[in-house]
A and B are shown apart, each in its own frame.
Chain A
Amino acid sequence: MLSKILKWINERWPLTTVIRWSLEEEMPGGTSYAYIFGSCVLIVFLFQVITGVWQLLYFVPTTDRGYESLNYLRTEIPFGWLIHGLHYWGASAMIILVGLHLSQVYIWGAYKNPRQLTWLIGVGNLLLTLALGFTGPILPWDERGYWEAEVAVSSAGTAPFLGTVARNLLAGGTALGQMTVSRFFFLHVAILPGILMAFVILHLVAFRKFGISGPWDEAKRKLTGLFWPDQVFKDGVAVTLIFMALIGLSAYRPPLYSGPLDVLETFYVPKPEWYFLFFYQTLKAFHGVFEPIGTIGIPLLITLLLIFLPFYDRSPERNPGRRVTAMVCYAIFVTWVITMAILGYYSKPEASTSGAPVATEATQAVSSSAGDPTLQNLEGAKRGGQLVASLGCTACHRVNGQGGVIGPEFTSALLKGKSRQWLITQIRNPKAHFPNSIMPAFISATDQQVNDIVDFLLATAQGKSVAAGRLAKGPSAPPVPAGLPQKTTPTPSVAPGPHGPPQEASFAIGNVELGATIFHQSCESCHGAQGKGKVPNPGSADGTVPPLNPIDPTLFNKNAQTFVNDIDPYIQHGSIPEGPNPVLHMLSFGDSESLTQQMIANVEAYVLHLNGVNRAQITRPGLEPRTFFWLVVVVFGFVLGGFWVWKGRRREKINR
């Protein structure tokens, strides 16, 4: 039956001929594990095509939903973690294998006559593979993707003469945006893989025409092997091991969640994928007018050297022992790539852009204004003293020896020379004075309240001691009547707990490391290092600021989304602790926009991490990643091992 069907097809399409053509090859010098790389690249490329196409079921290339759609695939779709993991790690594997394949061809001198065209197509495949490896990570438009696009587009912009044209064409506009994502998507899923597929076929045809170059030693060439099954078996062993390694990496080293894109985030250190680190590190050496040498010149030079290799190295000699120059060049190149990659991996940004607002504000503030502290309204100053506590200023600023340390202490040295207007601006719009300030803009406070606080600050500047309301008193002190009617307090209600629903941040999967940095800057002064702190909060029922590590059990949840929904309202809307007169309030970081939604998402990922919950929890894994990996290992081992044993016994029986 089968042979009938085959016959029918063969009469109409040369199936057997094509299969024979692709499998039947005499291999001079026999088979070798040195020849596996080409087949491995081909198979991993097929994996990439399949897993890439499958991701299109879920991923959308848009600036606002790219990251979320990818995360939906990774956490909510059965085996979505594996599809994405295979694709992510497959890219790395492909680049390593292409590098090994190229090295083998170079060392064996296989690019020489008559295989020049095979080599040229191969260089094209290398460039296409690198281009795919570059465009892929841009697509989710998360922190990592955005900055990679920025670097790509800016690099294109440094090209002489055509820089602006190249830049704008690549970005699809004068600035990065939706058109940029669309263009990189177009390249990554249609143009580049399409050309690569065609090139792979051309490469194979060229390869089949002359076969392998084999050993350079004539004596060793006498022995011959067959491509099928001898070499394919070796290729198969390698592919099987690579496939299992890719599953293992997907299970144990899932791709990073770099956090939702936030261009305001200054803590993120953009670094390329490992395979471009050598180039990233090299670029650092070129400044100013020399920059195009790094961004355009070096890649162009390497490409040209590769393309013309079979044309300037025309000697038929293939023995590496007699090609000293070629081998020295190779060693230098490989050393350069590896050294730069390692340096790039461990490099740190030269200067911290985030900085410590405390120091700069304090120093700049003293010299910045020649204000005239007019006559104080002492009543106002007294009310201001109360407000400094009730509005939450003391969460960050120290007054009379109490309060947080994240902002500068209110001392006469700090405040001397400040005008009323300067102080009002500082309260209403802190970034007007200090662009990097993390102080929330108190836009919801009334003019009267701000004036009172300014009165208090001006009095402090003159060294007058105005009782700072509740601060001077212990937690047991009776409530001090607030200077203003409750209605005008900006905190909408004095009932404890947060007021309002979770916001946007609660849906985004943040980055734990970025979250830790933001936590350190904005949260640590009250919640303590790593959220463990027992920072005193006089006047609150607990007496301390609630620690976050471990967090209040009523907020904790094993389910990451539920956990985030529990804590998000506190970070968004703030809250007033229970108790007669809590000095420290949870600030409304979201409502006041002192943290962006993306920053809050990162902080939430960190707080979950502190409590042993993974924000990027896979809710529907299909099968737990690690279980799946070991299951695959066992199945492969059992089936192949079993087959080996069975075959051995059979052979023994026949021999007997």
Chain B
Amino acid sequence: MADNLFFVEPTTSRRGFLKLITNLMIGLVAAVLTVPLVGGLIGSSFRLKKSRWADVGNISSLPLGQPTSMKFPYKTEDAYVRETVTHDVWVIKHSSSELTVFSPICPHLGCHYNWHPDENEFICPCHGSVYALTGKVLGGPAPRALDTLPWKLEKDRLFVEWETFRVGIPQKIRT
């Protein structure tokens, strides 16, 4: 039987010993080879992407208390791909030094939501999540309020740290 070929019972015969030690050697080589294979599979799967500050633009002309979508170029670094892509954020100016910056991604399932000035609400077209100006959930399936992003002002220029978060869960966890 084939199992006698491989799974040798410890015998004291020379052939029994050879079978055992050969299996051991092959097993060790295979085990060591598994190390880089597992490393390669895991790769950067659990590595947080570095977030970067981006120059979003001048906010001096923004209307007060009204959400404005601001587009800006953002240098991404995704593994070995370095590109400049366009991102946008919702900016609500409360005063010349007080702002709220919302990520444009709906925390429900990652769609882009819109501002509806007539209703005074943010509404996501995908599944109908509704948010107040403050980001609070007013209706729909959204599990949490809109995600705010870190920002800073240098004179009148707004800088935002572009971050993304996991969607579909009540906690705000960076991705």
Contacts and interface: CB of A to CB of B under 8 A. Distances in A.
A143 interface: no
B5 A80 contact: no
A236 B25 CA distance: 7
Contacts of B36: 51, 54, 79-80, 82-83, 86, 622
A72 B17 CA distance: 44
Given A80-B39, A82-B36, A230 B15 contact: yes
Contacts of B173: none
B17 A647 contact: yes
Output the residue of B2, B25, B36 with the most chain A CB within 10 A: B36
A89 to B, nearest CB: 13
Contact of A622 (B19, B28, B39, B79): B39
Interface in B2-54: 2-3, 5, 7, 10, 12, 15, 17-22, 24-26, 28-29, 32-33, 35-44
A464 interface: no
Interface string B72-91: 00000001111000000000
Contacts of B15: 226, 229-230
Nearest to B19: A229
B40 A640 contact: no
A636 B28 contact: yes
A243 B26 CA distance: 11
A507 interface: yes
B22 A57 contact: no
Interface stretch (A13-21, A415-423, A514-522, A586-594): A13-21
Interface in A630-656: 632, 635-636, 639-640, 643-644, 647, 650-651, 654
Contacts of B41: 54, 57
B22 A233 contact: yes
Interface string A43-70: 0000100110010011000000100110
B29 A243 contact: yes
- Interface size grouping (class) on chain A: 35 or more
A15 B6 CA distance: 13
Interface residues of chain A: helix, strand, loop or mixed (majority): helix
Contacts, number: 118
A643 B2 CA distance: 24
Given A57-B40, A236-B22, A639 B80 contact: no
Given A65-B80, A233-B21, A640-B28, A20 B2 contact: yes
B40 A80 contact: yes
Contact of B28 (A65, A233, A240): A240
A513 interface: no
B152 to A, nearest CB: 19
B24 A19 contact: no
Contacts of B79: 58, 69, 72, 76
A11 to B, nearest CB: 14
B77 to A, nearest CB: 9
Contacts of A243: 29, 32-33
A19 B2 contact: yes
A77 B28 contact: no
A6 interface: yes
A622 B42 CA distance: 11
Interface in A230-277: 230, 232-233, 236-237, 239-240, 243, 247
7 contacts: A19-B5, A57-B40, A68-B80, A240-B25, A243-B33, A635-B28, A639-B24
Given A54-B36, A54-B41, A639-B28, 17 more contacts: A15-B2, A19-B5, A58-B79, A65-B81, A73-B40, A79-B38, A83-B39, A229-B15, A229-B18, A230-B15, A239-B26, A239-B29, A240-B28, A243-B32, A643-B20, A647-B21, A651-B12
Interface of A: 2-3, 6, 15-16, 19-20, 23, 47, 50-51, 54, 57-58, 65, 68-69, 71-73, 76-80, 82-83, 86, 226, 228-230, 232-233, 236-237, 239-240, 243, 247, 507, 622, 632, 635-636, 639-640, 643-644, 647, 650-651, 654
Complex A-B, nearest 7 residue pairs according to Cβ-Cβ distance, in ascending order: A79-B39, A79-B36, A78-B39, A229-B18, A16-B2, A68-B80, A72-B80
